[in-house]
A and B are shown apart, each in its own frame.
Chain A
């Protein structure tokens, strides 16, 4: 019998959610954490959001976006389970413009420009992409399932107004697969049982 090629769960969003986590040593506490969303379709519409916490922000959460409705929806639906510090809806949203450059084979850079800040996230020394697929219930604390194409970075940098955050990314395992604390996450779709 041919397997049904369609996931039975409703799609909640499709897009990208690349991330950077920087620490001073392997297994150490994150000094910088960034979650960058490029969304093509969601109940909050399309758009971009950057959630950021770093020693460069004095460990306060900064949120940049070109779609406030999308931002609040992502906080409620996804970040509340992924990283609750990013889900506080009292944190103001800074309006920003988003752009991407890079050849995506050796490096990729996401730029976020607001009135006061110029934020740059760069992934380089890129490894081999691989697909993750978690069924609903497979992510601790989340009812969602997720499919994503992860490209682990051997190195990553986050800078704000030209100042680079301290720390670096480190190898990390996902399941039995070697990955990184900083990955491009493209072709990403989240589903949730109806």
Chain B
């Protein structure tokens, strides 16, 4: 009988909801946000937001966090693999307070409050959730394994200080599933082979 226990080492558990805004279906990315809520990691618990937008940040990456060590660890361990643009450790980390709201069925909002910026990420017109699971090395360019519950959003918005980022979420495929370029990603754990 197969063991119910994954033999790999857990690196983190938490959430990593994301938004990718495009100028048209299959078009160019004009905005991107990666929002982490971490319960367990080697750098402790906390939140981090990596974001850039063509019109709101002139393409520059901004990083907000309530745990600087976690923000740097996520860059090194995960963002360098997922989206290297977010992995530059020379980008300063802005202290921020994080909160979530919404019913999780129709919409969800993550709020990030810092001294210079007030940011909201909103996912709406939520679709059916599905469970992503793949072991270390099973997907191209993914030496780590992942378990995550994705909920695709038909609509998503990034706002900074009341200004809305240009671009829209569009349908996307994940494996054989209809998904979106903007998803809530809850119940997420990353694994790697034991050393």
What mask results when residues 127 to 150 of chain B are scored 1 for a CB within 8 Å of chain A, else 0?
A: 011111110001110000011010
Q: How far is the CB of A139 from chain B (nearest CB, A)?
A: 9
Contact digits for A84-107, partner B, Cβ 8 Å, 1 yes 0 no:
000000000000000000011100
Closest A residue to B174 by beta carbon equals A6
Contact of A188 among B8, B146, B187 (CB under 8 A): B187
A2 & B45 in contact (Cβ 8 Å cutoff):
no
Chain A contacts for B149, CB-based, 8 A: 11, 14, 41, 189
The answer to whether B39 has its CB under 8 Å from any CB of chain A is: yes
Docked CA distance A1–B21 (Å):
30
**Is A131 in contact with B191, judged by CB distance below 8 angstroms?**
yes
- A40–B186 touching, CB < 8 Å: yes
Count chain B CB atoms within 10 A of each CB in A2, A41, A132, A138 and give the residue with the most: A41
Contact bitstring B87-106, A, C-beta under 8 A = 1, else 0: 00000000000000001110
User: Number of contact residues on B: which range applies?
Assistant: 35 or more
Number of interface residues of A (CB under 8 A): 38
Cβ B10 vs Cβ A131 within 8 A: yes
Name the residue among B5, B130, B187 with the largest chain A CB count within 10 angstroms.
B187
Q: Which residues of chain A in 105-153 are interfacial with respect to chain B, using CB atoms and an 8 Å cutoff?
A: 105, 128-134, 138, 147, 149, 151
Chain B residue contacts of A186, Cβ below 8 A: 13-14, 39-40, 187
Q: What is the minimal beta-carbon distance from B160 to any residue of chain A, in angstroms?
A: 25
Residues of A within 8 A of B (CB): 2-7, 9-11, 14-15, 40-41, 45-46, 103-105, 128-134, 138, 147, 149, 151, 174-177, 186-189, 191
Interface residues of B (CB under 8 A from A): 3-6, 8-10, 13-14, 39-40, 44-45, 103-105, 128-134, 138-140, 146-147, 149, 151, 174-177, 186-189, 191
